[in-house]
Structure 1
Amino acid sequence: MFLPKIHIRQLRCLPKQLFLRQFCKCASQVPPEVLEELEQGFEDMKECDSKSLLKKHLTKERFDKLKDKTTPTYNSTLLDCIRSGLKNPDSGVGIYAPDPEAYSTFSDIFDPIIEDYHGGFKKTSVHPPTCFGFGSDFPNLDPDNLYIVSTRVRCGRSIKDFPFNPCLSKCDYNVLDSIITDALLNLSGEYSGTYFPLCGMEKDKQQELIDSHLLFKEGDRFLKDAKATRYWPTGRGIYINDNRNFLVWVNEEDHVRIISMEKGGNLGAVYERLILGENQLSKQLEFSRDKRLGYLTFCPTNLGTSLRASVHMRLPSLADDKAKLDKMAAKYNLQVRGTRGEHTDAEDGVYDISNKRRMGLTEYEAIQEMYKGIRALIDHECQEAAKACKK
C-alpha cells in the first residue's frame, strides 16, 4: 500500500483505519431512522418544484432498489449521497459520492445523472487515458485585455485509500493534511511557496485571501448538508506559490484542488503551469482513478479529467440578455456562473464561464472545447459592439 511519510503524532490512528478499510468490507443494514428520513425526503422532493438532476432521474423504481443498500467498506447509504439534494431543492445536480465505492453501489442513480450532465457519457462509456497535450497550442484569447479579466484552470484529485469528506474522521483530516502538505513543501522552481493551514489563521488574513479570489469560503450550505464540512477547519488549508499564480486547496470539497491562474486571457500559459504542477504532485501522491470514470471526486460533475478551465469576463451586449448568453454558452458546452462561482451573482458585470464537459474526452480536448467556445463568445460580442457603433 502507498503510504507517504506522516507525522508521528498522527501515526497512532492509522493501523485501525487501514485494517478496517482493507479487511472489513461487509455491508451493513440501513438503520430504520435513515430509511424513514429517506422515504420522507423522497416524498417531499416529488412535491417540490426542483429542477435538479436528482429529481429528474430518481424514479420510484430506482429509489426502492437503492434505499436498502450500503457501500462495502464505509457503509454509506443512499441518504449520504442525496441528503444535500433533498434539503436544497434549488440544487443543480443534488447528489454527491460520500466514498469512491458509492459510484458502483449506487450506479443506478449516478450513471443517468453522469450521462445527463457530461453530454452522453453512458454507463458503457469508458473515460480515455490522461492526455494533457501542450499549453502552447492555445494563444492568448484576449491580447488587448478588452473582455477577459482573468483565467483559471483547476483540477480535483483524491488520495487513494481514503473516502471523501462525509466519511472522513477528524484523524483522517489530519493524516491527509500531513500527507498532502509534505508533498507540497517539496515543490520546486516556480511552484515553491508556503502552506497556510486554516486552523489558527487570522481572520483578516483569511478575508484578504478570499477577497483576492485565492481562498475558498466557509459555509456552503450544499456541502454542509452533504456533511462535507465536518470538523471545520481541521485539516484544511491553502498552498500559495511565491508568484501567487499556483494554488492548492487542501480538503475543501476534494482532498486536493490544484489551481493555476493569472490576469488576462493567456489560457495556454495558465494551462501549461497546471500541467507541470500536477505532474510534480503526482510523483509524490497516489491519486484515485477508476478505469471507467477517470479521476474520482466527491461531486460527479468533476469526474473524468476533473478539469475546469474558466475565465472571468465582461460581455456587455450578451449580458443584457442572460437567456441568450446561457443559450450560446450551452452551444459550446460552456457553463455560466456568477463572479465567485456557483450559486453567486455577477459582480460588476463579470461572469465566470467555464467548460462543462469533463468526461469522455481528454484534458487537451476539454481545454480545446473551452477555448473555441470563449473565442466564439468574444467574436459575437465584437459583432454586437460593431452594430451598436453604426446606429
Structure 2
Amino acid sequence: MPVEPLTYLSHLLEAADPVKNYTRKHLTPEIIKKYDGVRTTHGATLAHMVRNGAYNPHSICPRTGEAECYTKFVDYLDAVILDYHGVSDPAFKHPPPTFGDLNNLPFGDVDPEGKFVVSTRVRVGRSVDGFLFSTIMSKQDRLDLETKVSTALKSLTGDHAGSYYPLANMSEATRKQLVEDHFLFKNDDPVLRDAGGYRDWPHGRGIFHNANKTFLVWLCEEDHMRIISMQKGGDLAAVYKRLIQGIQAIEKTLPFAHSDKYGYITCCPSNLGTTMRASVLLKIPKLSAQKAKLDEVCAKYRLQARGLHGEHTESPEGIHDISNKRRLGLTELEAAKEMADGVAQMIAIEKSLP
C-alpha cells in the first residue's frame, strides 16, 4: 500500500505529545535511521505503522501491518510495548493462554443484588494466522478473510450458533439500528481511518451474532476478529464462560496468530497478550461524584473508568464503563478476576457513602 515518506510523517509527529504518544516518543533518530526503507515480506514499513499517529496527535500507539512487523521492527515496537504495558523486563515473555476451570471460576455474579451493574461484556481480539492486518490489506485480502472466517462461524453450534451479516449487503436502517444498540462498530474513528482501517469500506466487514445477541463476532474492524460475549446484569461467570467456549470452538477451524513472547498478536501493540477487555456498565453515582476516590480504586485494581459511551464521554446517572487495564503479562483468568475484584470494591464503597 502506498504511504508517505517516513521523514515527512516523523515531521508531522512533532506536534504530538512526547510523553503520552508512544508512537512519537520512541520514534527516535536512531530508529528512523535503522528502519527507514525496511519492509516486511508483504511490504509493511515503519511509515505505515506511524501514519495514524502523524495525522492524529491524540493517538498513542502505532498500528502494525502483519505479524512479521513484531520481529522485523523489534527495537521500535518493543520500546513501545514495554512503555505502554509498564513492563520492566526487556526479556519479557507473556504467559501461555490460561482460561481456568470454566465450571469453577473464582468469580460469579459481581452484583447479585442487581442494583449496580447494568450489563457485562468481555471481548478479545484475534488475528487469523497468515493474513495481513488492516493497515496494508487489499480489498481481495479482506474478501478472502471474510469467506474464511464467516464459514468457520457458521459451523458453531448450541448457544454460539448464529448468522453472519456482511456490511456490504446490509440496509442502512439495519446498520444504524445495530450501531445505536451498541452491537456494531462504526467507520468514524480518524485514528483507525488513517491506519488504513476503513479502506474499501464496507467490503469484507460484517457481524456474526447468535439469536439473542449475547455472543457476537465483529469481522475486520481493527483486528480480523473481535469476539464478544455480553448480557444484561452482572453475571461475569456466565459471560466469561460463553466467551471462552466460543473462542475454543472457533479455534478448532481457524488458526490464530500467537507468539510465545507477545501472546495473541494484534494490529495494535496495546492489545497484545490476552487481548482481553472485561467490562461492566456500573451505576455508582456517589463514588462518581468523588473522582479522586474513584481514581484511587482504579489505580489499586489496575482498572480503567470511561464514560457511558467510551473514553472522554460523560457518565449520566454516575454510570461508568469499568474495565481491566492490563492485557500483557497476566493470564485471561487473572484479567477477568482483576476486574471483578475492583468492581466489588467499588460497589462496597458506593454502599458505604451517605
TM-score by length of 1: 0.85
Q: Is the 8 A contact 2:286 2:318 kept in 1?
A: no
Deviates more, 1:220-229 or 1:115-124: 115-124
Task: From the superposition, tell whether residues 197 and 317 of structure 1 become closer, same or farther in structure 2 (CA, over 3 Å).
Answer: same
1:267 positional shift: 0.5
Q: Is the 8 A contact 2:21 2:58 kept in 1?
A: yes
Count of residue pairs brought into register by the alignment = 351
What fraction of aligned residue pairs are identical, expressed as a percent? 45
Q: Is the 8 A contact 2:14 2:24 kept in 1?
A: no
Q: Is the 8 A contact 1:199 1:233 kept in 2?
A: yes
Within a 5 Å distance, the mapping from 1:206-225 to structure 2 comes to: 206-225=175-194
1:200 positional shift: 2.2
1:50 positional shift: 6.7
1:121 positional shift: 5.9
TM-score by length of 2: 0.93
Q: In the alignment, which residue of structure 2 is the partner of 1:84?
A: 52
Task: From the superposition, tell whether residues 126 and 151 of structure 1 become closer, same or farther in structure 2 (CA, over 3 Å).
Answer: same
Following the alignment from structure 1 to structure 2, what is the Cα–Cα distance between the partners of residues 294 and 35?
A: 29
Larger Rg: 1
Q: In the alignment, which residue of structure 1 is the partner of 2:274?
A: 305
Aligned counterpart in structure 1 of residue 12 of structure 2, from 41, 56, 63? 41
Within a 5 Å distance, the mapping from 1:161-180 to structure 2 comes to: 161-180=130-149
Following the alignment from structure 2 to structure 1, what is the Cα–Cα distance between the partners of residues 67 and 314?
A: 32
Following the alignment from structure 1 to structure 2, what is the Cα–Cα distance between the partners of residues 189 and 116?
A: 42
SS at match of 1:351: strand
5+ residue gaps, structure 1, are 1-29
Following the alignment from structure 2 to structure 1, what is the Cα–Cα distance between the partners of residues 10 and 86?
A: 30
Q: Is the 8 A contact 1:238 1:249 kept in 2?
A: yes
Task: From the superposition, tell whether residues 210 and 226 of structure 1 become closer, same or farther in structure 2 (CA, over 3 Å).
Answer: same
1:381 and 2:350 equivalent?
yes
Aligned counterpart in structure 1 of residue 154 of structure 2, from 175, 185, 196? 185
Following the alignment from structure 2 to structure 1, what is the Cα–Cα distance between the partners of residues 134 and 63?
A: 10
Q: In the alignment, which residue of structure 2 is the partner of 1:71?
A: 39
1:318 positional shift: 2.3
Task: From the superposition, tell whether residues 277 and 149 of structure 1 become closer, same or farther in structure 2 (CA, over 3 Å).
Answer: same
1:348 positional shift: 4.5
1:323 positional shift: 4.6
C-alpha RMSD of the superposition: 2.0
Aligned counterpart in structure 2 of residue 254 of structure 1, from 207, 223, 232? 223
> Structure 2: which amino acid aligns with 1:130?
P
SS at match of 1:301: helix
Following the alignment from structure 1 to structure 2, what is the Cα–Cα distance between the partners of residues 307 and 222?
A: 21
Deviates more, 1:295-304 or 1:49-58: 49-58
1:233 and 2:193 equivalent?
no
Task: From the superposition, tell whether residues 322 and 69 of structure 1 become closer, same or farther in structure 2 (CA, over 3 Å).
Answer: farther
Q: In the alignment, which residue of structure 2 is the partner of 1:8?
A: none
Task: From the superposition, tell whether residues 267 and 299 of structure 1 become closer, same or farther in structure 2 (CA, over 3 Å).
Answer: same
5+ residue gaps, structure 2, are none
